[in-house]
Structures are given as structure tokens and as C-alpha cells.
Amino acid sequence: MNNGLMKKTLLDVRNVSIDYVNRNEAPAHAVEDVSFVLHEGEMLGLVGESGCGKTTLALSLLRLLPAAGRITEGEIFFKGTDWLDLTEKQMEEVRWKEISMIFQGAMNALNPVRTIGDQIAEAIRQHLGETRKSTLNAMVEELLDRVGIPPNRRESYPHQYSGGMRQRAMIAMALACSPDVVIADEPTTALDVMIQAQILELLSRLQKQLGLSVILVTHDLGVVAEVCDTVLVMYGGVTAEYAPVDVIYNFPRHPYTQQLLSAFPDLSKPTERLVSIPGYPPRLEALPPGCRFAPRCNKAFDRCHVEKPELRFLASDHAASCHLLEEK
């Protein structure tokens, strides 16, 4: 991608494949051969339906896959170091300080029996080694203030916060050690529309104020249009399309991206009917032999059912995997 030629590359994910391996069962190929780069100050949207591998890919970047998850191929370079070569001890040193994560579902991710302030302080204690109570309190209050929570609410428990405040607290926790990259995994799911907009506005503001790079994991193309610079559309564990956000919205080339966009309302065309994508995403342990989107694709032809399409570059900053895009 050339949209970041002038910017420093922070994260360079190369040909990563991830399986889930359960005893006596065929491995589930959750992610296959996915590559992308994240530049300084960039917001990348990782988009797709549930089960397309986006959360698995996000967790792999921090080496936080569940026990059955295995990175079987690829490299994950952060500032030039392949994180897959680091020991778990070395990972503990860099996790949260370099890349942190806003986990899905704030209510589940927060400990219900500890105050919000305590939980943020714990992240600072663990990763930065700060133990002085007065310093910790000051740091927690500054973080809460940064995300729009009155500092005196640090003594409250998660159930005493609204859904939007809990999500803000999760963002404060992710910022606790001043990371360069924040991964936000569906940060607006389960919030009402007004609060969703506020959380997105907050993320976007913090990204600019702090010069953060953000990976936004979402199924919502509307969210991506609001805040992202670049978009990686995943389907069935593979890259469907990867391009700057304006290219994805104005010149989508992969039929999945096109169908996804038709399924989202366009406020400039209020009378248009929304189109749904028929069927369901493939099961990862029983993937179709050819193109993974073939059973649902409105442009599929015979070859699609037997041969996997290669990811091809249509421009230096635009790649997609579809047989229709082959040069004649």
C-alpha cells in the first residue's frame, strides 16, 4: 500500500494463517494467508461478518489466542521485530505498552467486584511497575478525564456505570500504558446509536490527539466509513479486499464488498431497498473448496466452486481476491 509511504510502518502482518486445533476434530482454518500494514496515526478497519476470523486475527497480534489457537504460518513485525520470535516473557514486557486492546463487551471484560479505578491502576502497576498510590491515583484520574469520565468516579464499580461509561473505562484502560497501537474489538456493539456515535467520536479524537494507530474490528461498514483510513474486508478467514476507505466505498471490486455495501443504508438515496446477502458464512472446519464466498456470491461461475482465487493487486493500494479480476 502506498498511502503510507511517508509514514512509519508500525505493524507489518505477513501471510498469517491461524488454525483452531481440537483433539479428534479436523482443524478449523480461522485465518489464512492474511497480510496488512498499519502505519503511524492510521485507523484500519477490520471488517466482516461474525466468524470471518477478524477477532482471531486481532488476538493473534497480541499473541492472546485461546488455547486451541495456533499461528501456523506468517510473521507479525512490530517496529521491525517479529513478535512470533519472542518468548512469552518478552511478550509480557511489550504487551499493553506497545499494543493494547479494548475487548468486546465491557461488562464481561471488567471485574465486577473491583472498582474501575482499581482495575486501571492494576494495568499500570503490572505493565509499568508503578506502585506509589498517589501517583497511581493521579494517573487513573487523568485517564478517566481523558475519556470523559469525571475523575471522582474512579471509586465506582462497573455496575454503577452506564454501558457507554464502561466502554469509556475500557478505552482508558487500553491507554493506561501509552501504547502506540490500540486494537478496538467491536467497541460499539450493544450500545445504542447515540452512545455508539459518542464512543466513535472519542476514539477518533484520541487517535488524533495522541497520534495513535488503531485497528477497529467491526461488522459495521457504517462505523468504518466514519473513522477509518484503510479497510481490510475479510470473508471466511481470507482477505476479500484491502484498500483505502474511499476506494472501498466508491470503487469496491470484490462481490462480497459490493454485496456488503448494498446491505447498508445510504442516506443520500433514501428510497433504495436494502439487499441482504443470502445464506451464512462458511463453517471454518468445512470450508468450500474454491472461493469461500462462492455459495453466496451473485456473480459466481463454475470455476469459483473448484479453484481458490488469488489475492491480486489492482493498484499499489488496492488488492482483492476474485477470479473476475484476473487480467484477460
Calpha distance 220→297 (Å, rounded): 20
Q: How far is the CB of 309 from ligand SF4 (least distance, A)?
A: 4
Shorter beta-carbon distance to ligand SF4: residue 45 or 255: 255
Q: How far is the CB of 265 from ligand SF4 (least distance, A)?
A: 23
Task: Please report, as ranges, the residues that interact with ligand SF4 according to CB under 6 A.
Answer: 255, 291, 293-294, 297, 299-300, 304, 309, 322-324
Shorter beta-carbon distance to ligand SF4: residue 128 or 277: 277
Q: Which phi-psi region, left, alpha or beta, contains residue 74 (left: φ > 0; alpha: ψ -120 to 50)? A: left
Q: How far is the CB of 324 from ligand SF4 (least distance, A)?
A: 5
Cell of 243: 484498500
Shorter beta-carbon distance to ligand SF4: residue 60 or 257: 257
Calpha distance 284→238 (Å, rounded): 11
Contacts of 110 (CB under 8 A, 6+ apart): 116, 119, 158, 166, 169, 170
Q: How many CB atoms lie within 10 A of CB 95?
A: 21
Q: How far is the CB of 296 from ligand SF4 (least distance, A)?
A: 8
What b/e string do you get for 254-289 counting C-beta neighbours within 10 Å, with b at 16 or more?
A: bbbbbbbbbeeeeeeeeeeeeeebeeebbebeebbe
Q: How many CB atoms lie within 10 A of CB 35?
A: 16
Cell of 172: 482508558
Q: How far is the CB of 303 from ligand SF4 (least distance, A)?
A: 7
Shorter beta-carbon distance to ligand SF4: residue 139 or 260: 260
Asked if residues 27 and 283 have their Cβ atoms less than 8 Å apart, the reply is: no
Residue 197, classed as helix, strand or coil, is helix
Shorter beta-carbon distance to ligand SF4: residue 179 or 255: 255
Using CA atoms of 70, 74, 76, 82 in order, give the dihedral in degrees to the nearest 10.
Answer: 100
Q: How far is the CB of 252 from ligand SF4 (least distance, A)?
A: 11
Per-residue CA distances from 100 to 67, 94, 272 (Å): 20, 9, 40
Shorter beta-carbon distance to ligand SF4: residue 63 or 303: 303
Cell of 87: 518468548
Q: How far is the CB of 314 from ligand SF4 (least distance, A)?
A: 13
Shorter beta-carbon distance to ligand SF4: residue 146 or 323: 323
Shorter beta-carbon distance to ligand SF4: residue 128 or 275: 275
Q: How far is the CB of 66 from ligand SF4 (least distance, A)?
A: 29
Question: How long is the chain?
Answer: 328
